[in-house]
Amino acid sequence: MTGRIIDGKAVAAGVRADVAAAVKNLPAQPALAVVLVGDDPASQVYVASKAKMTNEVGMRSIEIRLPRETTQDELLARVAALSADPDVDGILVQLPLPKHISEPAILAALDPMKDVDGLTEASAGKLVLGKPGLRPCTPVGCVILARTERPDLAGANVVVIGRSILVGKPAALLFLEQNATVTLAHSKTRDLKMVCRGADILVAAVGRPEMVRGDWVRPGAIVIDVGTNRVPAPEKGEGKTKLVGDVCFPEAIEVAAAVTPSPGGVGPMTIACLLRNTVLAACARRGWTVPAPLAAG
118-176 per-position pLDDT tens digit: 999 999 999 999 999 999 999 999 999 999 999 999 999 999 999 999 999 999 999 99
Residue ranges of the alpha helices (H) in 57-203? 72-84, 103-109, 121-129, 137-149, 168-177, 192-197
With cut-offs at 50, 70 and 90, classify the pLDDT of residue 296: low
Write down the pLDDT at residue 297.
59
CA distances from 223 to 3, 34, 180, 238, 281 (A): 10, 31, 15, 32, 30
Average pLDDT value over all residues in the chain: 95
Domain residue limits, the chain: 27-111, 137-267
How many other CB atoms sit within 10 Å of the CB of residue 234? 10
Residue 94 annotated as catalytic: yes
Check whether the bond before 96 is cis (ω within 30° of 0): yes
Q: Domain 137-267 maps to which CATH number in 1.10.490.10, 3.40.50.720, 3.40.1080.10, 1.10.3720.10?
A: 3.40.50.720
Residue 50 annotated as catalytic: yes
pLDDT at 295 over 80: no
Write down the pLDDT at residue 234.
84
Nearest residue to 276 via CA among 1, 105, 112, 59: 59
Catalytically annotated residue among 89, 111, 117, 200: 117
From CA 96, how far away is CA 80, in angstroms rounded? Answer: 19
Check whether the bond before 263 is cis (ω within 30° of 0): yes
Higher per-residue pLDDT: 1 or 151: 151
pLDDT at 89 over 90: yes
Same fold, 27-111 and 137-267: yes
Residues in the chain: 297
pLDDT at 1 over 80: no
pLDDT over 70 for what percent of the chain?
A: 99
Residue 188 annotated as catalytic: no
CB 192 within 8 A of CB 170: no
From CA 39, how far away is CA 20, in angstroms rounded? Answer: 30
Does domain 27-111 match CATH 3.10.20.30? no
With cut-offs at 50, 70 and 90, classify the pLDDT of residue 41: confident
For the chain, the helix, strand and coil percentages under 3-state DSSP, each to the nearest 5: 45, 15, 40
With cut-offs at 50, 70 and 90, classify the pLDDT of residue 84: very high
104 exposure class (CB count in 10 Å sphere: 0-12, 13-18, 19+)? exposed
Question: What are 196-251's pLDDT values in tens digits?
Answer: 999 999 999 999 999 999 999 999 999 999 998 989 888 888 888 999 999 999 99
Query: For the residues 68-91, what does the mean pLDDT come to?
Result: 97
Catalytically annotated residue among 18, 94, 169, 225: 94
CB 265 within 8 A of CB 138: no
Write down the pLDDT at residue 239.
81
Element spanning 178, H or E:
none
Catalytically annotated residue among 18, 50, 89, 114: 50
CB 19 within 8 A of CB 144: no
Nearest residue to 180 via CA among 224, 212, 211: 224
